[in-house]
Structure 1
Amino acid sequence: MARLCLETLDDFPLVEPGDDLGDLICASLHAAGQSLKDGDILVLAQKIVSKAEGRYRTLADIVPGADARALAAETDKDPQLVQAILDESTEVVRKRRGVLIVRHKRGWVMAQAGIDQSNIEGGDAGRILLLPEDPDASAFRLKEVLEHRYGVALAVVIADSFGRPFRNGTTGIAVGAAGLESFIDKRGETDLFGKELMVSTIAHADEIASAASVLMGQADEGKPVVLIRGLDKSKHVPASALIRPIEEDMFR
């Protein structure tokens, strides 16, 4: 019988710029009488990684350009926020009142470049939080730190909440990963009846992030770290492998 175990690290503290996430995770594990085992996967909410890395901006410090002001008028958004979105993006993909979908500098197509204003200290005063500069690298650094401290082989996934075309609601996806096969290509293998698989690929890190997000929640739950046990993670493919190349865009 296959089994997958997920549990949160409860009472995890609020994260400030410069905090060592490795230290915070170790302290949380110790307080719960837990340790890390070989093969464990830690899923972290993107927000705590961004906070630790100091990925903040303040709207009052942003001077919107002409493009941002025009786009703000079209979408009924704050011009300073729109400028911050454009600063993090390479392309405006879709726009309408209240909605701005862009292609992030790292390739994700997402609402307002992933810039967050919820569950942020100082958010009411115009403080905003950007995505990590390089989430795969962030995951790899944390993986190395924890592996050194516990003497085990681990995987780390950094998860964020994304909307999806033609689907209501958000779900967890992986924006960064280290120590597991984020993207699994089954093409060339066979199904139960020996038929060759021609198009089967699996967003494995996204599946892991989505499972963890069930426990993390999307509002005031305060559970940004989930420990997963029971998955094979023998290969390493970064989360960046999940981004579909622009030339394969089938919707425009």
Structure 2
Amino acid sequence: MQRLEMLALPGLPRVAAGDDLAALIAAGLARAGLTPQPGDVLVVAQKIVSKAEGRSVRLADVTPSARAEALAAETGKDPRVVELILSEAARVVRSRPNLIIVEHRLGFVMANAGIDQSNVVGPEEEPHALLLPRDPDASAAALSARLGLPVVISDSFGRAWRRGTVGVAIGAAGLPALVDLRGTPDMFGRTLQVSLTGFADEIAAAAGLLMGQGAEAQPVVVLRGLAWSAPDNPAANLIRVGPEDLFR
């Protein structure tokens, strides 16, 4: 019987720009008495990766464009935040009051270009906004190389036609983000024709049960007991592109 365990690393300090995130996580693993084993995967919240990589922007330093001012008037959002959203977006998909759906420069279709202001700075500090990492797959690869573990970088996404947010993988290294089951038999010997498994997304969603969405302060989770045989591939492979996307 396969058994899966999850543990949120305790006692991680507040992460700031320039911090050695791999060293902080390694220290957390040591405190928890966790020695990496085959089948372990480390899930790291996007927020602390972005913070360590200096992706926090002071809103006082942002000058909104005319386009940002107009979209801010339509949506009721801070024009400076809208300017950051536009700077990260390949295109605006839809907008309504307090929401802008964009195609991110990385290919994700997401709310507000993934830009967040929650849990970024304390109430006594100047307002900041946090952008996604420039290259989440590269960020995951760097952490994986330092820590000797497969790494998934997770973020909270809303989903079309469903309420609520759930953890998804925006970066992955050391494992297959996408597992292609086409050509393999099902339990009755029928050949699978279209089955692709978002393995890294499943891992991110599971870790989200411990990470939470608010004040839990548990941005790193170890999943233990996983198994896979497919070749490694990055989280970028999870994005539907070109003719595969029937909704653009």
- 1:205 aligned residue: 200
CA contact (8 A) 2:121 2:127 kept: no
Q: 1:236 aligns with which of 213, 232, 238?
A: 232
CA contact (8 A) 1:115 1:130 kept: yes
For normalisation by structure 2, the TM-score amounts to: 0.95
Letter in 1 for 2:40: D
Higher mean C-alpha displacement, 121-130 vs 161-170: 121-130
- 2:244 aligned residue: 248
Letter in 2 for 1:128: A
Matches within 5 A, 1:113-128: 113-122=113-122, 125-128=126-129
Superposed CA deviations along residues 43-101 of structure 1, whole A, max 9, x for unmatched, are: 00000100110101122211111111111111111111111000000010111111100
Letter in 2 for 1:198: Q
- How far apart in 2 are the matches of 1:92 and 1:246? 17
- 2:95 aligned residue: 95
For normalisation by structure 1, the TM-score amounts to: 0.94
- 1:56 aligned residue: 56
CA contact (8 A) 1:43 1:159 kept: yes
Give the percent of matched residue pairs that are identical in Structure 1 and Structure 2.
Answer: 56
- How far apart in 2 are the matches of 1:233 and 1:28? 26
CA displacement at 1:233 relative to structure 2: 4.2
Letter in 2 for 1:136: D
Higher mean C-alpha displacement, 78-87 vs 241-250: 241-250
- How far apart in 1 are the matches of 2:205 and 2:113? 20
- 1:139 aligned residue: 140
Matches within 5 A, 1:1-252: 1-122=1-122, 125-147=126-148, 154-234=149-229, 235-252=231-248
Higher mean C-alpha displacement, 195-204 vs 174-183: 195-204
Higher mean C-alpha displacement, 177-186 vs 122-131: 122-131
CA contact (8 A) 1:155 1:233 kept: no
Match of 2:133, SS state, is coil
Higher mean C-alpha displacement, 165-174 vs 38-47: 38-47
RMSD (CA atoms): 1.3
Match of 1:181, SS state, is coil
- How far apart in 2 are the matches of 1:195 and 1:165? 31
CA displacement at 1:166 relative to structure 2: 0.5
Gaps of 5+ in 1: 148-153
- How far apart in 1 are the matches of 2:166 and 2:22? 26
Match of 1:125, SS state, is coil
Letter in 2 for 1:92: V
Higher mean C-alpha displacement, 93-102 vs 119-128: 119-128
CA displacement at 1:122 relative to structure 2: 4.8
CA displacement at 1:206 relative to structure 2: 0.1
Superposed CA deviations along residues 136-165 of structure 1, whole A, max 9, x for unmatched, are: 001101111112xxxxxx200000000000
CA contact (8 A) 2:179 2:199 kept: yes
- How far apart in 1 are the matches of 2:221 and 2:49? 14
Which segments of structure 1 move beyond 3 Å, counting only runs of 4 or more? none
